[in-house]
Amino acid sequence: MGAAASADEAIPQDIAAALVDPACYADHRIHDAYRWLRANNPLGRAQLDAFDPFWVVTRHADILAISRQNDLFHNADRATTLTNKAVLERVHKITGQPNLVRSLVQMDAPDHPKYRALTQGWFMPANIAKFEPRIREIARATVDRMAAKAAANGGVCDFVADVALGYPLHVIMEILGVPEADEPRMLKLTQELFGPQDPDTARVREALSAEVFAAMLQAVVADFAAYFQRITEDRRAHPRDDLATVIANAKINGEDMPLHDRTSYYMIVATAGHDTTSSSTAGAIWALAEDPAQFARVKADPELIPGLVDEAIRWMTPVKHFMRSATADTELGGRRIAKGDWLMLCYASGNRDEAVFEEADRFRCDRRPNRHVAFGYGAHLCLGQHLAKLEMRILFEEMLPRLSALSLAGPVKMTQATFVNGPKTLPIRVTMA
């Protein structure tokens, strides 16, 4: 681990620098870096002073191969998202672990399947179908609000602020059982957790020192912990038919879940589902606003909506990466990976892999098959994928018939983040039917 990369495996410095630069994710330069890597060094090694060395996995086939071998490539042994050395050191001092939280994402067998089994049934299509009528009501109210905003503003609104941010948040909070009045707090905490590199959402706006950055994340986790402890006490005393009741009362090996694991569980459910779904939802509207012919097609044929949803998730790929680490020496793609090596699975690159997707950069709502890896793959495959797709389908079923014209009304701005990113502002001009 940490040995210098040989000449053919080393990634050029400018490309490696792009991978760790949040600004490159906001202005799309990251796709130039991915394209270069897929063509020239699909399993290369990045060596940058501020980071431990890491392998960069950019081809679809290699992402699948690593994700399906959960014994050989662990989640929990090292940081699960790309983190610089200084922050890693602080996190380790705070928790004694490579990660601040211990949710499903930061677990491996034997714990991971036990914890995942607690809520897996909740997220299956057969169970979440019962929320469809309520989700449809929320979608209708969301479209009404958007129409009112646009009407009051010459037909223009910001799709992110007025629709994409609030809608998935509201859905997951209802399913989890968090009262509506607390939603702004949850949104802010999620943005601080996932987007602390973006100057608009960071608690501290000037360039962050590692100490400030780690302390800020710790404060966010502490806020979540305090909030969900109250929810736990309430659901133990007064169980309800919500997901919080399942988590509050869950037993692991016959015992209550340890506090840190429980907070982490609430946090992953509360946070994983809205910034991600918001970004894909905004991605669909962005693509349709730029392509009137495709907008007309999907409006005329609602059967294209599930394809629109899948393509928006592929095209936007809100989760840009997760990290894994090797548990033994192995060989992959002609490279010798050593035990302990850190690997970056670049989902957003796999989803533009020319070997799998024709016209990979183009948004095509009739793309079939659409075997994207935006939800990951293998044992950690996104637990909320059916919910995300259900929410998006229902929103577009409600919105598209009411939209008779859609176009961009200004430049789209993306969040600056190397982990989860997507549109930050998406000004659109609409005519409502």
Residue 104 touching ligand HEM (CB under 6 A):
yes
DSSP 374: T
Contacts with ligand HEM in 5-24 (CB under 6 A)?
none
Residue 381 touching ligand HEM (CB under 6 A):
yes
Q: Give the residue, chosen from 33, 208, 323, 382, that forms a contact with ligand HEM under the rule CB under 6 A.
A: 382
122 close to 386: Cβ distance less than 8 angstroms: no
Contacts with ligand HEM in 307-336 (CB under 6 A)?
313, 318-319, 322
Q: Please identify, using beta-carbon distances, which residue of 130 and 205 lies nearer to ligand HEM.
A: 130
Residue 280 touching ligand HEM (CB under 6 A):
yes
Helix, strand, coil: what percent of the chain each, to 5?
55, 10, 35
Radius of gyration of the chain (CA): 21
| Interacting span for ligand HEM (CB under 6 A) from 84-92, 178-186, 274-282, 334-342 | 274-282
Q: Give the residue, chosen from 383, 399, 417, 426, that forms a contact with ligand HEM under the rule CB under 6 A.
A: 383
How many CB atoms lie under 10 A from the CB of residue 6?
Answer: 10
278 close to 165: Cβ distance less than 8 angstroms: yes
* Exposed/middle/buried for residue 411 (C-beta within 10 Å: 0-12, 13-18, 19+): exposed
List Cα–Cα distances, 205 to 84, 90, 165, 212, 213, in angstroms: 19, 20, 22, 11, 11
Angle at 312 (CA atoms; ends 307, 317), nearest 5 degrees: 130
Residue 415 touching ligand HEM (CB under 6 A):
no
Q: Give the residue, chosen from 42, 283, 376, 422, that forms a contact with ligand HEM under the rule CB under 6 A.
A: 376
Q: Please identify, using beta-carbon distances, which residue of 166 and 384 lies nearer to ligand HEM.
A: 384
List Cα–Cα distances, 411 to 143, 331, 424, in angstroms: 22, 45, 11
Q: Give the residue, chosen from 272, 298, 394, 403, that forms a contact with ligand HEM under the rule CB under 6 A.
A: 272
Q: Please identify, using beta-carbon distances, which residue of 147 and 171 lies nearer to ligand HEM.
A: 171
DSSP 301: -
Residue 109 touching ligand HEM (CB under 6 A):
no
Binding site for ligand HEM (CB under 6 A): 67, 104-105, 116, 172, 268-269, 272-273, 276-277, 280, 313, 318-319, 322, 347, 374-378, 380-384, 387-388
